[in-house]
Amino acid sequence: MLLRIRPIARVSAILFVGVMLAVFVLGVTLDRITARPKPQIALAWNPGSADANARAGRLLLEHMTAGMKEQIRSYGMRSLTRQPVNAAAPTLLAIVASLDGKNRQAERLVRYAETMSRRDVPTEMWLIEHDVQRGDIPNALVHYDRALRTNDQTRDILFPILNQAVSDPEIARPMAMFLARRPVWGRPFMTQYVPVSTSPNALYTFARGLKLDHAPTPDPTMLQAIEKRLVDLYAYQQSAALYNRAHGLPVDDRTPIRNGGFEQPGNWDPFDWNLIDDENLAGLRQPNPAAKGGTALFPFAANGRGGDVAVQLTLLPPGNYVITARVGGTRGDPLAFPQLVVRCARDGRELLHAAFPPSPDTGQSWRVNFTISSNCTAQRIVVRAASGIDGQVTAPWIDDISVRPLGGR
């Protein structure tokens, strides 16, 4: 009889151990899988789970009310007791301590959390706020850097905060020095910041700090974006200063027209020719039929299109000016003749709008006077194209555009 009982007991013991092992494995697996997305499920199987307790506490923080403070404290204590090296737990307890007015205890807890991990975003966020309140901007930026290196999602949270903060010169200057170190998030920050910036001084400071105004510039695309945004913000002098330095010119250079002969390709710097190149509207650089080896601008419009095909920003002081050019190939429908326009950059007022005259293919000289008023500190020199009723049957061209004060100064 005993011989028959012992195998049954052995089998029962094996089954019991197997079930307990399965329950343990299931609990560990559920903890690993559900601790972050569904911490309450993990806690149902393993109430002492460090990760699940920390996550549950953080979820409560997102929608915290007065009655949740003790529950958050409880989650934090269970997590810290189970896993003292879990950085999330002391940060939870630090937030509760701050709510209780125990600021020194809160700081000790967060400093401890950061020694465990520099990749815990809430810990770094707490330290950012702490350093900002103390006015320690350089150290706050260190914690911004650590948080932004942790994962790309933090950029959605922190970039908008930085966008607003850097309008303060006391923040923009150390931020520029930090960006100069080329952190991995630096260019993504600048890419999203430049189009929305409302601070010309911050843009100018960042451009200088990144040495974008060195000749040659290390990042032409970013430099042009900053120059254009400065123009949008009416900060013409700062934009011109960046352009001049990046091209090896004196910082106060105010050349009236650059590349008036169209010998160099256009680009997207505001102070160079910006040439349009669409299917039915374009400003094309092609060989000048009246010159040997030179190029000219050929305004082109078709299918009823018309508009600006070449635009350059300039900073002419108030006064009277004469603009001259060589023009050729304009004949046929006068409505299709190209035009030259001078606009006030800030408000679009036209200071000059003149059609080029009829001219032979070999070209002829042309000149016209205009006046810059005292309330127009920056201007756009524009060549416009138009298409006639019968389409563009000729190939008008413009070359050697120049501007000088009336009287020849």
pLDDT value, residue 152 = 82
pLDDT value, residue 15 = 44
Rounded Cα–Cα distance for residues 359 and 1 (Å): 125
Per-residue confidence band for 59, with pLDDT thresholds at 50, 70 and 90: low
pLDDT value, residue 83 = 63
Share of the chain above pLDDT 90, in %: 57
Any idea what the Cα angle at residue 302 is, between residues 403 and 394, rounded to 5°?
Answer: 65
Between the alpha carbon of residue 35 and those of residues 58, 119, 129, the distances in Å are: 12, 18, 28
Question: pLDDT tens across 186-209, in order?
Answer: 999 999 999 999 999 999 999 999
- Over residues 205-234, the mean pLDDT reads 96
- Over residues 55-68, the mean pLDDT reads 61
pLDDT value, residue 123 = 81
- Over residues 99-105, the mean pLDDT reads 74
pLDDT value, residue 236 = 98
Is the omega angle on the peptide bond into residue 183 within 30 degrees of 0, that is, cis?
no
Residue 347 is given by DSSP the state T
In 3D space, the residue among 307, 239, 240, 312 whose CA is nearest the CA of residue 273 turns out to be 312
Per-residue confidence band for 24, with pLDDT thresholds at 50, 70 and 90: very low
The token duo for 290 is 């009246």
Rounded Cα–Cα distance for residues 30 and 238 (Å): 59
Question: pLDDT tens across 256-309, in order?
Answer: 999 999 999 988 899 999 999 999 999 999 999 887 779 999 999 998 889 999
More confident position, 283 or 105: 283
Rounded Cα–Cα distance for residues 397 and 170 (Å): 52
Query: Is 115 in a helix, a strand, or coil?
Result: helix
Rounded Cα–Cα distance for residues 289 and 363 (Å): 9
Range in 41-45, 48-52, 72-76 the model is least confident about: 41-45
Strands 350-355 and 306-314: unpaired
Please say whether the dihedral angle defined by the alpha carbons of residues 71, 77, 78 and 84, taken in this order, is positive or negative: positive
Rounded Cα–Cα distance for residues 252 and 316 (Å): 12
**Which of 32-36, 120-124, 155-159 has the largest mean confidence?**
155-159
Under 8 Å between Cβ of 87 and 116: yes
Per-residue confidence band for 23, with pLDDT thresholds at 50, 70 and 90: very low
Rounded Cα–Cα distance for residues 335 and 76 (Å): 78
Question: pLDDT tens across 349-407, in order?
Answer: 999 999 999 999 999 999 999 999 999 999 999 999 998 766 556 789 999 999 999 97
Mean pLDDT of the chain: 83
pLDDT of 320 > 90? The answer is: yes
Under 8 Å between Cβ of 300 and 281: yes
Residue 68 is given by DSSP the state G
In 3D space, the residue among 294, 289, 323, 307 whose CA is nearest the CA of residue 394 turns out to be 289
Per-residue confidence band for 26, with pLDDT thresholds at 50, 70 and 90: very low
Count of beta carbons in the 10 Å neighbourhood of residue 117: 16
Question: pLDDT tens across 140-181, in order?
Answer: 999 999 999 888 888 999 999 999 999 999 999 999 999 999
Domains defined for the chain, CATH in brackets: 34-188 (1.25.40.10), 274-405 (2.60.120.260)
pLDDT value, residue 51 = 61
The token duo for 377 is 């500190």
